[in-house]
Amino acid sequence: MTGLGGLNKSPNGVVLGLVQLQLPNVVTPDDLSAQTQRICDMVGKARRNLPTMDLVVFPEYALHGLSMDTNPEIMCRLDGPEMAAFSAACRDNGIWGCFSMMEYNPNGNPYNSGIILDDKGELQLYYRKMHPWVPVEPWEPGDLGIPVCEGPNGSKLALMICHDGMFPEMARECAYKGAEITIRTAGYTAPIRHAWRITNQANAFCNLMYTASVCMCGSDRTFDSMGEGMFVNFDGVPLVMGSDRPNEIITAELRPDLVREARVRWGVENNIYQLGHRGYVAVKGGAQDCPYTYMQDLVKGEYRLPWDAEVVHTDGRSCGFEEPTRKYKG
């Protein structure tokens, strides 16, 4: 169900717009201010582009570009001017918005964070990227878990950032906490194109939820981001596929009510339910144990691969970062 990209919105529909934002080059506070205004202008474009749009989504690195610069002068705060500008843009245009920021951290490296604001400009979801794209990214590992919020028209939303979506456990956690639509924002470049598509599809199918995913787009004269916004149905079938055109807004109408129906009524391939009810045809209620060694070891803090000692890249030195000395406290 796409409603012709949201042109024909149903009473139960939620219309999303994915912005394939032009990749910026942000070095100074003035650059950051100018990029903030560009994003706010795109919020206005989204509203003018499609009056039925409920939520506009901007990619990871929309504010900062792909430089991996941790300069405190261009890091953002939740109560800073950039977030205030995004709040005003949502309020002034009567639209929900999903935004990215590299967040100042007084106790270590910055966080790679995302927020969802409602159409009054109020904060509804605040997330810090759980799985920075090592060894390339210097960001502090997220410490807020995986939040889910109520979105427009009674929908349930979750947010993953880029590399998070390569871990099936992340998508499963979003769905386990009730998400019907999981947003994935990214700054990926072309070598990740195939993995991007198949993980967005697998995350949708394995959890009976929509995925709505978008990358930065175009070139900053060093990197080329791929755009490729995509919506995937809860059966894993792509609904809308984007292009590589910068600043294009990809739209679709999604139907959370159909997700809820599938999760309740599906027998075959209701995988998120069946994970915790193995073999319920043979035994009452199914087996509800945890037979997965890696899950048990993670809980005990003893996760270790058979080839752990042979792994080559275990810090960021190959990408120019110093070997860390701090232990994660969680």
Condensed to tens digits (0 to 9), the pLDDT of residues 218-245 reads 999 999 999 999 999 999 999 999 988 9
Query: Residue 1: what pLDDT?
Result: 55
**CATH number, domain with residue 142:** 3.60.110.10
Domain-embedded: residue 327: no
Domain-embedded: residue 281: no
Work out the mean pLDDT of the chain and round it to a whole number: 96
Known active-site residue 261: no
Domain that holds residue 174: 3-274
- For the chain, list the strands marked E by DSSP: 14-20, 55-57, 96-103, 111-117, 123-128, 148-150, 156-161, 181-186, 210-215, 217-219, 224-226, 230-232, 238-241, 248-254
Residue 49, classed as helix, strand or coil, is helix
User: For 301-324, what is the mean pLDDT?
Assistant: 97
Query: Residue 96: what pLDDT?
Result: 98
User: For 8-21, what is the mean pLDDT?
Assistant: 96
d(CA 245, CA 238): 19
Domain-embedded: residue 298: no
Query: Residue 2: what pLDDT?
Result: 65
Residue in 9, 129, 215, 253 annotated catalytic: 129
Known active-site residue 300: no
Domain-embedded: residue 127: yes
Q: Tell me if 18 sits within 8 A of 244, measured CB to CB.
A: no
Percent of the chain with pLDDT over 70: 99
User: For 19-46, what is the mean pLDDT?
Assistant: 98
Q: Where are the alpha helices (DSSP H) in 50-142?
A: 81-93
Q: How many structural domains compose the chain?
A: 1
Domain-embedded: residue 283: no
Query: Residue 4: what pLDDT?
Result: 86
Residue 272: CA count within 13 A, CB half-sphere:
30
Query: Residue 329: what pLDDT?
Result: 86
| pLDDT higher than 90, residue 19 | yes
Q: Between 303 and 5, name the one with better pLDDT.
A: 303
Q: What is the pLDDT of residues 152-200, one digit of tens each?
A: 999 999 999 999 999 999 999 999 999 999 999 999 998 999 999 999 9
Known active-site residue 60: yes
Domain-embedded: residue 230: yes
User: For 32-60, what is the mean pLDDT?
Assistant: 97
Long-range own/partner contacts, residues 284-288 (CB < 8 A, 24 or more apart): none
Q: What is the pLDDT of residues 250-307, one digit of tens each?
A: 999 999 999 999 999 999 999 999 999 999 999 999 999 999 999 999 999 999 999 9
Domain-embedded: residue 311: no
Q: Between 190 and 55, name the one with better pLDDT.
A: 55
Residue in 60, 140, 173, 228 annotated catalytic: 60
Which two three-digit tokens encode residue 250?
A: 């990809």
| pLDDT higher than 90, residue 89 | yes
Which two three-digit tokens encode residue 4?
A: 């012709």
Residue in 76, 149, 162, 215 annotated catalytic: 162
pLDDT band at 310 (very low <50, low <70, confident <90, very high): very high
Domain-embedded: residue 328: no
